[in-house]
Chains A and B, each alone.
Chain A
Amino acid sequence: EVQLVESGGGLVKPGGSLRLSCVVSGFTFINAWMSWVRQAPGKGLEWVGRIKSKVDGGTADYAAPVKGRFTISRDDSKNTLYLQMNSLKTEDTAVYYCTTEQSSGSFIWFDYWGQGTLVTVSS
């Protein structure tokens, strides 16, 4: 059974930092492309960024609102995905989901999702 379990959310002041983790089991993490998707309270889904597998270069891409402030990384030895969030703003308040990217040819979709972890940025 595939499981993704996020942790690390909480309350942080504007300008502060937080690191989210996503521990994965039930599939071959080392080959997986992984994304973070967030959802502000009462709002829709927003892609935060992704990291490719190391065999595909291991590079990360980010959405404009978080570029330069957030960093996605992975530890394949621990089956763990990370999201380091710095210079947090009130508009970063959201539930953060980690998700796996499945592909067929050039088609990509998000198939497995974690339960989400809530990040609240408030003074």
Chain B
Amino acid sequence: DIQMTQSPSSLSASVGDRVSITCRASQSISSYLNWYQQKGGKAPKLLIYAASSLQSGVPSRFSGSGSGTDFTLTISSLQPEDFATYYCQQSYITPLTFGGGTKVEIK
């Protein structure tokens, strides 16, 4: 199985900060990497698919980059509604696997 490792597991940031979250795959997954946001026990929401494609309706302050084994989700200017937990997920091969999550908290 492909292991997905996110770092950090949590971070504290202020409104307006630039935030980056890293996701590393245990083997190359090309660009088969998606990012989700989850708030307060609600269902996850797709942000980025295929490593860098922004889902329709998602603010442009969210961006994704990377390929192979190393990927980054960047929030260019953190907004109050962005405080949440973020997950990466590989779709290269089954079993589809998620990273452990990164909780973004208010500083």
Instruction: Report which of A95, A108, A114 forms a contact with B91, defined as CB distance below 8 A.
Output: A108
**Chain B residues within CB distance 8 Å of chain A:** 1, 31-32, 34, 36, 38, 41-46, 49-50, 55, 87, 89, 91, 94-101
Contacts of A44 in B (CB 8 A): 87, 98-101
Q: Is the CB of A50 within 8 A of B94?
A: yes
A35 within 8 A of B: yes
Contacts of B94 in A (CB 8 A): 50, 61
Mark interface residues in A33-64 (1 if CB within 8 Å of B CB, else 0). Answer: 00101000000111100100000000001111
Q: How far is the CA of A106 from the CA of B32 in the complex (A)?
A: 9
Given the known inter-chain contacts A35-B96, A45-B98, A46-B98, please indicate yes or no for A109 contacting B44, CB distance below 8 A.
Answer: no
Q: Is the CB of A97 within 8 A of B98?
A: no
Contacts of B95 in A (CB 8 A): 47, 61-64
**Chain A residues within CB distance 8 Å of chain B:** 35, 37, 44-47, 50, 61-64, 95, 97, 102, 104, 106-111, 113-116
Given the known inter-chain contacts A64-B1, A107-B91, A110-B34, please indicate yes or no for A47 contacting B44, CB distance below 8 A.
Answer: no
Q: How far is the CA of A61 from the CA of B31 in the complex (A)?
A: 22
Cβ distance B53 to chain A, nearest Cβ, rounded Å? 8
Given the known inter-chain contacts A44-B87, A45-B87, A64-B1, please indicate yes or no for A110 contacting B98, CB distance below 8 A.
Answer: no
Further 5 A-B residue pairs, CB within 8 A, beyond A47-B98, A110-B89: A97-B44, A107-B49, A108-B96, A109-B34, A110-B46
